[in-house]
Amino acid sequence: MTSSATKPRGARARAAIAAKTLRTDRWWIAPLITVIGLSAWIAYATVRVFMHKWYWVEQYHYLTPFYSPCVTDRCIPEASHFGQYLPGWWIIPDAAFTLPFLLLFRLTCYYYRKAYYRSFWLSPPACAVPDGHASYSGETRFPLIVQNSHRYFFYFAAIISLINTWDAIAAFRSPEGFGFGLGNLILLGNVIMLWAYTISCHSCRHIIGGRLKHFSKHPVRYRLWGYVSWLNVRHMQLAWITLGTLALTDFYVMSVAAGWISDLRFIN
Ligand code: FES
């Protein structure tokens, strides 16, 4: 018996149905929400990255992740935990060493690929809905072949998560010495979510548990692989949650730095 999955190349790709799709549900809602959500986040992040202010709360040492590490000579010296190496030109983001890698990490992420292929490129917009393009070459040619380098960006993302962790720990400060406020909870929550997203990466799962013939001979890796796999099935949710925690953390730091609100302090 010949099924559509085993049809020879060149055979008719689609049954002769006049309708564009037979789906009657509101399949377009998911891609629409994705377009709105990603566009809003990109617009917010772009404005913030090139604002060059309100990224550091001197009193409590809060640094927004959008400016970490702050490496231009325009940065407030106390906010430059790892030194200043670049000129403070307007066009250069203050976190110029990390933002491009974070962008590439997310851009090549398996989940985000699915999200923007479907929503922005309509390729295809949903299951059982025709592709918005006449041809399909997959990820076999430039530029999409670059998607295969995702595993390398994972290592950069892990290093950047370490830097964000350092920022969160260094923020337990107040003019009296040790201090702890709502800003610390927000920074900490963001870092935990960033780690969860980073570790749930498909490349991480492969690094932990891939290329093994027998899990029984690698019990530690098997156990770690189980944890990573548990997170991995939640990768899509973590991708969205971290966009939210990043924006929330940045907005909170900006609000306190600009003097719009005061940080709620629990200790000092
Ligand atoms: S970060 Fe999404 S698959 Fe790696």
Map residue 175 onto helix, strand or coil: coil
* Nearest 10 degrees: Cα torsion 73, 191, 38, 233: 150
Mutate to test the pocket of ligand 1, among 101, 111, 117, 153 (most ligand atoms within 8 A of CB): 111
The answer to whether 238 and 196 are in contact (CB under 8 A) is: yes
- The verdict on the CB of residue 110 being under 6 Å from ligand 1 is yes
Residues in contact with 244: Cβ distance below 8 Å, sequence separation at least 6, in sequence order: none
Q: Which residue lies with its CA nearest to atom 4 of ligand 1? A: 201
Backbone angles phi, psi at 46, to 5 degrees: -65, -45
- What is the structure's pLDDT at 14? 62
* Prediction pTM value: 0.90
Dihedral sign, Cα of residue 220, residue 223, residue 226, residue 230: negative
Tell me the CA–centroid distance for residue 144 and ligand 1, in Å.
16
Q: What is the pLDDT along the chain (268 residues), one digit of tens a residue?
A: 334 444 445 555 667 777 888 889 999 999 999 999 999 999 999 999 999 999 999 999 999 999 999 999 999 999 999 999 999 999 999 999 999 999 999 999 999 999 999 999 999 999 989 888 888 888 888 989 999 999 999 999 999 999 999 999 999 999 999 999 999 999 999 999 999 999 999 999 999 999 899 999 999 999 999 999 999 999 999 999 999 999 999 999 999 999 999 999 999 8
Alpha-carbon distance of 51 to 105, in angstroms, equals 23
Mutate to test the pocket of ligand 1, among 103, 107, 110 (most ligand atoms within 8 A of CB): 110
